[in-house]
Amino acid sequence: MARINDEFMRQRITRRRLLQGAGGTALGAAAIATVGCGGGGSSGGARTPGSTAPAEGTPKLGGILKQRQQVGYPNFNPFGPGIGALVQGLFVGFALYDHLFYVPTDTGEVIPFLGTEFEIAEDGRDVTVTMGEAVFWDKPPVNGRDVRASDVVASYERFKEQIPLGFSWLQEVLDSIEARDERTVVFRQNRPWAWFFTASNAGSPISSSIIPQEIVGDDDALDSDPIGSGKWMLAGHDSGQNVKLRKFPNWREPGRPYLEGVDYLYAPDNTLAQSAFSAKDIDTITGLNSRELEDLESRFGDEIVTSGDLQRDYRCLMLKNEPPFDDPEVRRGINLALNRDEIRQVLNLGDGELAGPLPPAHTAFVLDEDDPDLQEYFRFDPAESRQVLEAAGFPFDQEITLKYSNFSDAPDLAEAVAQQLRVVGINVKLPGAEDIISWLSNTLGPGDFQMTSFTHLAYEDPSLPLSFYVPPNFMGYDDPEVTAAFEKAAATLDMAERVEATKDAQRVIIQKMSPMLNLYSAVNYSARWDYLKGVITGRGSFGLFNSGAWLDK
């Protein structure tokens, strides 16, 4: 799924974090395991997500943070219509609705949100979550009542009913969800699932949103007048653009957030957004390349704070598993024609790391650089590509269409891929960019493409990136060995063993040359004015739940 919104889709992790990642993930997994074995042990509700570095002084209350909004939301309904719902679903999931828990990528540790205690049954299937206290916004028909277990159940049930995006934990693994009492929720899975707590599964920023029972089935309300229990309330917008959020005074964490609100200013154009940042019309800017960053630094020096992070999102070329791409040899030929270094140079001025079946930010789970399979995956050899394709009987005279969206640099990516495939003699047609929302719903969702190139979202755990190779998926790809390897990793609860199983799954995917060919993850740069404090950087999307940002002006 394409990268949709700077703030919500790009998750950054600093290089320092990256190096620590392996250890951190193992630690986090240990924490989950402890909870599981101990039966009812609390993983600690006292920790505050997004604590501020003490050097920045005492937070000032109030003030409105101004940020860029890159796409307009068609509505605020996380249920659709269609899979275009991803666009607004992520936004409302992070901004308006609360969740039971969340797992930051860098530590892999379960951070309790509304949930306070987590208990995994001996067989690894049932998970029981005890909830803390919180209230919804004070708006009819909910009128500020308590958040109950039945709300959680109703929300998960509707997300489960929702038309699936592909292989999804909700449909494939979750059997049912029940409210044992007003404060206890039980998830019943049909098999042990090691990734339960992570963002692709029960802790997803979209489908773990807690929506009040009264409106969870009411599309009119969800479209335009949502009610949640998150720290921000929807205060205004122009048909999904220029969204204004204001502090929810009765949020479950007293005293937070420090800011009075966040205003998103709609600016689809990069140039306009960067000039708005220079004029201090917005307080942060993301998605810069190294030269743009140098430019800002030379102009504003110490007035701005900058950072550069390896993105968790990653670019890929997806092939439909139909002739001619249902032949692994053809796919091998295509893969040999892809010059990942060149694409990275052209799109991100060379800043980034190549991506195997898992993007590089998944650190511990990723194949080593010197892994022979991974090296083979990254090998570029147009001459051999041509030979392989000819041997496989590839139809060079046939026009092959490469579809893409108009979002951000997606057209540049498609063009670069097309250019490289043309070098080996493939007759690639670019039909023109589709609007991002309709590309999601018309092209990717129904699998209506021969080839499509795009930037995947940032995923918190390896399960979702790997699940794209498992049926049902957009490519119509079904390989029993790949599926078995994926299932094995997901069923392995022990951390060290799971890392190995995940690596094995990636090797199988490479050997089978499964039809989603990943390219690389970019390093992007961001800047903010120095009066914005308490920002969490380098902790993936976890930073989006930060309630500790404040303005020193």
Partner 1 sequence: MLAVSIITFTMLRVLPGQDPAILMAGQNARPEDVEAIHKSLGLDRPIAVQYLEWTSDVLRGDLGTTYFGRQDILEEVKRRLPASAELVLLSLSISVVVGVTFGVISAVKRNTPIDYVVRLFAVMGQSVPDFFLLILLIVIPWTFWNYSAPIGGSRTLWEDPMHNIRMYLPPALILGIGGAAGIMRLQRTTMLEVLRSDYVRTARAKGLSGTGVIIRHAFRNTLTPLVTTIGTSFTLVFAGSVVAETVMGIDGVGVFFIQSALQRDFPVIQFLVLYTAVVVVIVNLIVDLSYAYIDPRVRYR
Partner 2 sequence: MTTQATAAAITGFAAGDSMIASETPRRVRLGRLARRNPLGVIALIVVVAFVGLGAVQWISQDVFGKAVAPSDPRDYNASEQLQGPSWDHPFGTNQQGQDMFSRVLAGARISFLIGSMAVLFGFLPGAMLGIMSGYFQRWVDYVIQRSGEAWAAFPVLFLYLALITAFGQGLKIIAIVIIISGLFGGSRVLRVAALVTKQNDYVEASRALGASEMRILLRHIVPNVMPIIIVFASSVFAVSVLGEATLSFLGIGVEPSTPSWGIDLNKARQNARLYPHLAVFPGIAISLVVLGFNLLGDTLRDILDPRLRGTLR
Give the amino acid at 9. M
Measured over the CA atoms of residue 274, residue 280, residue 286 and residue 291, the dihedral's sign is positive
DSSP reduced 3-state for 293: helix
Kindly tell me which residue out of 115, 359, 447, 465 binds partner 1, with binding defined by CB under 8 A: 447
Q: Which is nearer to partner 1, 45 or 72 (CB)?
A: 72
Kindly tell me which residue out of 321, 363, 441, 455 binds partner 1, with binding defined by CB under 8 A: 441
Per CB under 8 A, the segment of 150-158, 421-429, 445-453, 462-470 that binds partner 1 is: 445-453
Residue listed under structure tokens 């147009």 = 382
What's the rounded Cα separation, in Å, for the pair 50 and 545? 8
Give the amino acid at 388. V
Query: Quick count: other Cβ atoms within 10 Å of Cβ 261?
Result: 18
Query: How many positions of this chain bind partner 1 (CB under 8 A)?
Result: 53
Residue 45: DSSP 8-state: S
Q: Which is nearer to partner 1, 263 or 479 (CB)?
A: 263
Q: How far is the CB of 412 from partner 2 (least distance, A)?
A: 8
Which of partner 2, partner 1, none has residue 33 at its interface (CB below 5 to 8 Å by kind)? none
What's the rounded Cα separation, in Å, for the pair 116 and 457? 29
The answer to the question of residue 529 lying near partner 1 (CB under 8 A) is no
What's the rounded Cα separation, in Å, for the pair 17 and 22? 9
Kindly tell me which residue out of 25, 52, 75, 408 binds partner 1, with binding defined by CB under 8 A: 75
Q: What are phi and psi of 315, to 5 degrees?
A: -90, 150
Q: What are phi and psi of 70, to 5 degrees?
A: -95, -30
Per CB under 8 A, the segment of 240-248, 291-299, 319-327, 498-506 that binds partner 2 is: 291-299
DSSP reduced 3-state for 241: strand
Measured over the CA atoms of residue 476, residue 479, residue 483 and residue 486, the dihedral's sign is negative
x/- map, 3-42, partner 1, by CB under 8 A: ----------------------------------------
The answer to the question of residue 430 lying near partner 1 (CB under 8 A) is no
x/- map, 426-445, partner 2, by CB under 8 A: ---xxxxx------------
The answer to the question of residue 442 lying near partner 1 (CB under 8 A) is yes
Q: How far is the CB of 342 from partner 2 (least distance, A)?
A: 5
The answer to the question of residue 135 lying near partner 2 (CB under 8 A) is no
Residue listed under structure tokens 């041997």 = 391
Which of partner 2, partner 1, none has residue 430 at its interface (CB below 5 to 8 Å by kind)? partner 2
Kindly tell me which residue out of 345, 438, 511, 537 binds partner 1, with binding defined by CB under 8 A: 438
Which of partner 2, partner 1, none has residue 345 at its interface (CB below 5 to 8 Å by kind)? partner 2
The answer to the question of residue 298 lying near partner 2 (CB under 8 A) is no
Q: Which is nearer to partner 2, 16 or 422 (CB)?
A: 422
Do residues 457 and 326 make contact, with C-beta atoms less than 8 angstroms apart?
no
Kindly tell me which residue out of 178, 292, 329, 373 binds partner 2, with binding defined by CB under 8 A: 292
Kindly tell me which residue out of 274, 463, 467, 502 binds partner 2, with binding defined by CB under 8 A: 274
What's the rounded Cα separation, in Å, for the pair 327 and 165? 25
Site for partner 1 in 246-275 (CB under 8 A): 263, 265-269, 271-275
Q: How far is the CB of 39 from partner 1 (least distance, A)?
A: 38
Q: How far is the CB of 307 from partner 1 (least distance, A)?
A: 22
Helices and strands in the chain, H and E counts = 18, 22
Please report how many Cα atoms fall inside a 13 Å half-sphere around the Cα of residue 177, on the Cβ side.
Answer: 24
Q: How far is the CB of 250 from partner 2 (least distance, A)?
A: 43
Give the amino acid at 3. R
Do residues 427 and 378 make contact, with C-beta atoms less than 8 angstroms apart?
no
> What token pair was written down for 550?
């404040």
Per CB under 8 A, the segment of 10-18, 76-84, 287-295, 319-327 that binds partner 2 is: 287-295
Q: How far is the CB of 415 from partner 2 (least distance, A)?
A: 5
Closest CA to 104 of 21, 166, 168, 214: 21
Q: How far is the CB of 72 from partner 2 (least distance, A)?
A: 17
Prior bond of 372 cis (ω within 30°)? no
Query: Quick count: other Cβ atoms within 10 Å of Cβ 355?
Result: 28
Q: How far is the CB of 109 from partner 1 (least distance, A)?
A: 33
Do residues 65 and 259 make contact, with C-beta atoms less than 8 angstroms apart?
yes
Q: How far is the CB of 192 from partner 2 (least distance, A)?
A: 46
The answer to the question of residue 133 lying near partner 2 (CB under 8 A) is no
Per CB under 8 A, the segment of 25-33, 277-285, 334-342, 363-371 that binds partner 1 is: 277-285
Residue listed under structure tokens 């990653």 = 314
The continuous run of DSSP H or E covering 413 comes out as helix 410-423
The answer to the question of residue 437 lying near partner 1 (CB under 8 A) is yes
Residue listed under structure tokens 């139909």 = 322
Residue listed under structure tokens 């739940």 = 545
> What token pair was written down for 510?
């490479």
What's the rounded Cα separation, in Å, for the pair 10 and 541? 8
Give the amino acid at 522. A
The answer to the question of residue 163 lying near partner 1 (CB under 8 A) is yes
Q: Which residues bind partner 2 (CB under 8 A)?
A: 269-271, 274-275, 291-292, 295, 341-342, 345-347, 349-350, 406, 411-412, 414-416, 418-420, 422, 429-433
Q: Which residues bind partner 1 (CB under 8 A)?
A: 66, 68, 72-75, 77, 80-84, 163-166, 219, 223, 238-242, 263, 265-269, 271-276, 278-279, 281-282, 299, 406, 433-435, 437-438, 441-442, 445-447, 472, 474
